[in-house]
Amino acid sequence: MNFQPRGISDQIIRGPGSYASEVEAAAALLKTQPTWNGVGAEAVARMRLQNRFKTGLDIARFTAAQMRADMARYDNDATKYTQSLGCWHGFIAQQKLISVKKHFGTTDRTYLYLSGWMIAALRSEFGPLPDQSMHEKTSVPALIEELYTFLRQADSRELSNTFRALDAARKAGDKAKEEELIASIDNFQTHVVPVIADIDAGFGNAEATYLLAKKMIEAGACALQIENQVSDEKQCGHQDGKVTVPHEVFLAKIRACRHAFLELGVEDGVVVTRTDSLGAGLTQQIAVSHKPGDLGDQYNSFLDCEEVDASNIGNGDVVITRNGKLMRPKRLPSNLYQFRPGTGEDRVVLDCITSLQNGSDLLWIETEKPNVEQIAKMVDRIREVVPNAKLAYNNSPSFNWTLNFRWQVFDEMKAAGKDVSKYNRAELMKAEYDETELAKQAY
């Protein structure tokens, strides 16, 4: 059968007479083996159709092509966005996709997202953990493999039911029904959809990132999401205390993911780069800079520094030059360096542009709260440099969306000089506000 990726042919298995051609191929093979008694050509064809994905790499290549096609479709029509459903067990993934296909008749533009915090909280052998990359790195590829085991089982179940219905139609002599069922087999849409897998900050250096990326791709992942936090200082995206790495360190990990995809023959593999700079006020190291204005110098330009005289440099002090002046970056007792307050958005924009210019396919801007206007302003700035930049946004359930949107509307109303005296900003979740104009605007 000629299975083609969704987006190229709407993820539909097409080809005139494809079911018949599988039966014919199996029959031709069996004729060469006269001692294989009791093996029927149609049974062989059906088993092959129910097991079209032989390895995780088969899945990764198939879903990567799907994802690339969906990205191209989005470029032509921004209403054709995709949605990724979180899951932490194969059964959850199976039930979600069966339900989606049952109710909508298609799994188009429906993905699965494998979240690091869910694995840490629910799948770690150490027990429930915070989102700090302390869970076993092998648990990520293991869960990817589990997800696809259950999704392939969903395919097998649906096709098996169709085969039984086909046998019943033949027994009843219902030719029209028989043709209808064969057409449904020839146009079967798989439950196997792209998985975007969270590799956190890579669980180590660039080589560690590469090795883990290979395992995840071999399990079936077609997209890897990696963030620019320090691997051994990693914090949950919504928490304070996050520490970022210089761009060259992060770019090495992006390249590690790309090398893993290319080595394994998944040329359409997708790299999603996440920046945590908006909520990160610290860096572990000062970037290497060779000349003013280079990438390292731009990173260091955000450091919170004080001017220092050469004669006052103390033992262990680290100094840089800025606009011809000798500057000492502010260093904490933890040996981390501070960024200047208020530089988060500028650092995000630089992160995103740099990532897109060095192999990233999609952006993820991590925020501490859902603020569409804030995100839009940064994306507009990014698109001034990279016009086709695409954003993956975190619709996290850990956000209180209702409250956050009500806060934003309240603040906008107040800034515009509107009367907000009947609202208590600290209690905007109360039911008494549900039918108010503020709540309607926030909805």
Say which CATH number the domain at 229 has: 3.20.20.60
Residue 92 lies in domain: 56-278
> Would you state the pLDDT for residue 130?
77
Which backbone phi and psi does 319 adopt, to 5 degrees?
-130, 155
- pTM of structure: 0.89
Report yes or no on 212 lying in a domain. Answer: yes
Residue from 87, 236, 305, 352 carrying the catalytic annotation: 236
Binning the chain into helix, strand and coil, the percentages to the nearest 5 are 50, 15, 40
Q: For residue 277, what are its two tokens?
A: 């700079």
Which backbone phi and psi does 136 adopt, to 5 degrees?
-65, 130
- Name the residue among 172, 363, 360 with its Cα closest to residue 251: 360
Of the three residues 278, 303, 334, the one that is the final residue of a domain is 278
As a whole number of Å, the end-to-end CA separation of the chain is 47
Report yes or no on 430 lying in a domain. Answer: yes
- Name the residue among 50, 157, 185, 49 with its Cα closest to residue 97: 157
3-class secondary structure, 259:
helix
CB neighbour burial string for 268-302, b if at least 16 within 10 angstroms, e if fewer? bbbbbbbbbbbbbbbbbbbbebeeeeebbbbbbbb
Report yes or no on 381 lying in a domain. Answer: no
Whether 236 is a known active-site residue: answer yes
Q: Is the domain of 418 the same as that of 270?
A: no
Report yes or no on 371 lying in a domain. Answer: no
Report yes or no on 190 lying in a domain. Answer: yes
Of the three residues 252, 278, 304, the one that is the final residue of a domain is 278
Report yes or no on 101 lying in a domain. Answer: yes
Rounded CA-CA distance 288/285 in Å is 9
Of the three residues 233, 263, 278, the one that is the final residue of a domain is 278
Instruction: Give 72-102 pLDDT, tens digit per residue.
Output: 999 999 999 999 999 899 999 999 999 999 9
Q: Which residues of the chain have pLDDT under 50?
A: 1-17
Overall domain count for the chain: 2
> Would you state the pLDDT for residue 397?
67
- Name the residue among 374, 313, 329 with its Cα closest to residue 349: 374
